[in-house]
Amino acid sequence: MSDTPPSAGEGLPVQPDLSLPSQPRINLPSSPPLPELPEDPPATSLADCAPCCGFSASTRFSSIADDVYFSNPIDYWAMENRGHISVAEPAAPNAVVVKKTVSLTYQMGANATDHSARILTELSDAFSEWERVASSARVRVKMIGCPDKDLRILLQHEIVPSGGDIIIRVDNTPVPPDPNDELRSYVDGGTDMTHYLNGGDSWVMVHEIGHTIGLGDEYLYESPSTTEPVITVYGHDMNDFVLTIPYAGQHPVDPAAPAGKAPLHFFENPTVMGQYGNMTFRTYMYYWVAYETSQALASDGRLNGVYIV
Q: DSSP string covering the chain, please?
A: ---SPPPTTSSSPPPP--PPPPPPP--PPPPPPPPPPPPPPPP--TGGGGGGG---EEEEEEEEHHHHTB---S-----EEEEEEEES-TTSTTEEEEEEEEEEEEETT--HHHHHHHHHHHHHHHHHHHHHHHTT--EEEEETTS--EEEEEEEEEEE-SS--SEEEEEE-PPPPSSTTS----EEETTTEEEEETTS--THHHHHHHHHHTTPPP-EEEEES--PPPEEEEP-TTSPPEEEE--EEEEEPPPTTSPTTPPPEEEEE-SSTTTSTT-----GGGGHHHHHHHHHHTTT-TTEEEEEE-
Phi, psi of 294 (to 5 degrees): -60, -40
The answer to whether residue 8 sits within a structural domain is: no
Number of compact structural domains in the chain: 1
Give dist(CA 134, CA 130) in Å, integer: 6
The answer to whether residue 17 sits within a structural domain is: no
The answer to whether residue 228 sits within a structural domain is: yes
In terms of residue numbers, what domain contains 265? 48-308
Tens of pLDDT along the chain (309 residues) come to 445 444 444 444 444 444 444 444 444 445 455 444 444 444 444 444 555 899 999 999 999 998 899 997 776 668 999 999 999 999 999 999 999 999 999 999 999 999 999 999 999 999 999 999 999 999 999 999 999 999 999 999 999 999 999 999 999 999 999 877 889 999 999 999 999 999 989 999 999 999 999 999 999 988 888 999 999 999 999 999 999 999 999 877 666 666 767 788 999 999 999 999 999 999 999 999 999 999 999 999 999 999 999
pTM equals: 0.81
Burial, 72: exposed, middle or buried (Cβ in 10 Å; 0-12, 13-18, 19+)? middle
The answer to whether residue 24 sits within a structural domain is: no
The answer to whether residue 205 sits within a structural domain is: yes
Q: Contact 86/96 with Cβ under 8 angstroms?
A: yes
First to last CA, the chain: 108
The answer to whether residue 11 sits within a structural domain is: no
The answer to whether residue 208 sits within a structural domain is: yes
The answer to whether residue 21 sits within a structural domain is: no
